[in-house]
Amino acid sequence: MAGVAWHYVLKFIITGDAAVGKSSLLVRLTDQRFLANPDPTLGVEFGSKLITIPEENKVVKLQCWDTAGTESFRSITRSYYRGAAGCLLVYDVTSRQSFINVRSWLQDVREHADPHLTCILVGNKIDLCADDAGAAAAAGGGPRRKREVSTDEGELWAKEEGLLFVEASAKSGENVEEAFECATRNILEKVRRGV
């Protein structure tokens, strides 16, 4: 990608409980692959990706930071949030607990990050849900788990909190780039409106 110019550089942060798939979403976005058994001690911390928003005629460089294991300490420092324009708040659709805990992640973001930060709620691991269309194919014969958080529930809570919302799978790649694009569109809209 050397020599490709971009119009904006945006910092994104990815938060949520351990094991919801934050590193996997980042790897999927930047490297188009999925690791079934990533080493948790080698959490991917940073990745960068150029995306194009055609209707704005803009190329945007996303600089994405993952909490990389610090989530268990809840010790994420202000510097992690500083300068962030976008945030992916991730839960696992097969873990109700991770959906419950996403509330405190949002609280953390609201305490530390810029008030204009764009947040998108991401329900990850939809490939695991046997009831979802195409799940069987996506799971590729791998283990299936029961969905514990419905799409409606995720969507409703996101709406109440003023968050964007998408369900995705780092494994199949479904909606991963779309999640970042959706948040980026929202950020560019704010830029245009001078917010």
Residues near ligand GDP (CB under 6 A) are: 18-24, 35-38, 40, 43, 124-125, 127-128, 169-171
Nearer to ligand GDP, 98 or 184 (CB): 98
Nearer to ligand GDP, 41 or 77 (CB): 41
C-alpha count within 13 angstroms, C-beta hemisphere, residue 91? 29
Distances in whole angstroms, Cα of residue 95 to Cα of each of 21, 60, 124, 169: 12, 33, 10, 14
C-alpha count within 13 angstroms, C-beta hemisphere, residue 5? 3
d(CA 44, CA 40): 9
CB of residue 18 vs ligand GDP: minimum separation in angstroms? 5
What residues form DSSP beta bridges with 60?
8, 51
* SS3 category, 6: coil
What are the DSSP calls for 21-57, one per residue? SHHHHHHHHHHS---SS--GGG---EEEEEEEEGGGT
Query: Helix, strand, coil proportions of the chain in percent (round to 5)?
Result: 40, 25, 35
CB of residue 171 vs ligand GDP: minimum separation in angstroms? 3
Q: What is the DSSP letter of 19?
A: T
Residue nearest to ligand GDP (CB): 21
Nearer to ligand GDP, 120 or 170 (CB): 170
CB of residue 70 vs ligand GDP: minimum separation in angstroms? 10
Nearer to ligand GDP, 30 or 52 (CB): 30
CB of residue 9 vs ligand GDP: minimum separation in angstroms? 23
CB of residue 78 vs ligand GDP: minimum separation in angstroms? 21
CB of residue 110 vs ligand GDP: minimum separation in angstroms? 20
Nearer to ligand GDP, 52 or 101 (CB): 101
Nearer to ligand GDP, 60 or 170 (CB): 170
